[in-house]
Each structure stands twice: as C-alpha cells, then as structure tokens.
Amino acid sequence: MREIIFDTETTGIDPKQGHRMVEIGCVELVDRMPTGETFHAYYNPERDMPAEAEAIHGLSAQFLADKPRFADAVDELLDFVRDDMLVAHNAGFDFAFLNAELELCTREPICLTRKIDTLEMARRKNPGGKHSLDALCSRYGVDRSHRVFHGALLDAELLAQVYIELTGGRQIAMGLIGEIGEGDTAPAEPELAAMLPSGDRPRRPARPHSASEQELAAHAAFLDRMTRPIWHR
C-alpha cells in the first residue's frame, strides 16, 4: 500500500481570497514505512507575500520570484503522487489549496476520497488533548529540534513519523535486526530470530504432540482413582 504524506506552505489561509500555494513537500510511504522517496518544490505565486505568512515559513516574494509557476511544473507533482492516498495534517486546508492550483491550470482536482486527515485521527485517538503537529511530535517522541520555520518537506517528514505512530507504531524489531547476507538463515542477533518473517526463520524439527505410553498409563491410573467422576452422572 502506497501513501503520500504531504504539506503545503501558502501566502494566506484562503485560496478563494486569491492566496496561492508556494511550496509543497511529499514523503512516500509503502506499507506505512518511509521509502526514502520524496518530492519537494517551490512555486512563484505571482503575487506579494504577506508579512504574517512570511513570518511562519520564511519564504519571501524575492526568494520565490525565480521559481516556476505551479502550472509549468504540475506534471512533476502529479507523476509523484499518482492515484494514491494523500495524508496531511488539517488536510482540508492543504487539499483546498492544491485543488485551487489545479483548477487554475485547468487540471482535474484531487478527489476527496483520497484524503486522510491526521488531525481528525489525533482528535479521535486523544480527545481533549493538543493536536498541533508540534504537540503530536512531543507526544510520540518525534525529534523536531531542527524545525525553525515551517517548511513543507520538513513538516511532511515529521508528519510521516507521527502518522506511523497514529496508525499503530513501528514494528518492535525495527532497526534492531542485523543485515542478513545471502545464504544466511538466522539474524545477527539470535534472540531476535522470532521477529523475522516466518519464511526467514531457521527451521526446527517438528515436536511430538501425541502422548507417550507412560503418559497414557499415568492418565489411566489417575482416572481409576476417581470414585464418582462427573461424566458417569
């Protein structure tokens, strides 16, 4: 199962008021594991950058002036996300901007059935708590010490770790089993052998499951000592 964790940065909070998306970052997960594949792009919004927005993400109009327009680079993004599920924090915001940009360049919008919102997931899992990305990083022990400004790719990478925790956490043996060379049948740490997929575990002879003659005789003697067994009532 392939999923795309993504985040956007914008010039404001409402695309209907003429605000535009200026950055997008995407992280690929397969079976809830990061593959290392990412997508990151800046876009020229063809408008000014409000000071309050720049204070959040640090992207100035001057920095974005030589970046491509979304319409000129949209195919690279669509090729990366394909038809897979898209995961975002407060996903309605990010989907609104992404689909507004697609509409401006006469492309089909992303269907909302592909939306997974980690904010909604966090509210269901921890009602009454704080549900910002920073708060969830603290709750699940995700290191965000290098986060000075909001950045789309950095936030997507942090959210990917949070999403894994929200959906059940990492496997116990993650990163603990040593590399298994060709022809090896056991992991570098023998005590972790049971954590390997069954096809990779060392084979053991089948254990006998039928009772021995001595065990059968002992059982019969035990039954003979019973004077009023309930199965004779």
Q: Active-site residue numbers?
A: 150
For 130, counting Cβ atoms within 10 Å of its Cβ (0-12 exposed, 13-18 middle, 19+ buried), the class is exposed
d(CA 129, CA 180): 42
Residue tagged 């919102």 (tokens) = 117
3 state SS of 207: coil
In order of 35, 37, 167, 178, the CA distances from 30 in angstroms are: 7, 10, 13, 21
Instruction: Quickly list H helices, the chain.
Output: 51-57, 61-64, 70-81, 91-104, 118-125, 133-140, 152-166, 213-224
d(CA 73, CA 68): 7
- The DSSP-derived string for 139-175 is HHT---TT-SS--HHHHHHHHHHHHHHHTT---TTTT
Q: For residue 58, give every residue at least 6 positions away whose Cβ sits within 8 Å of its Cβ, in sequence order, or none.
A: 148, 149, 151
d(CA 200, CA 180): 10
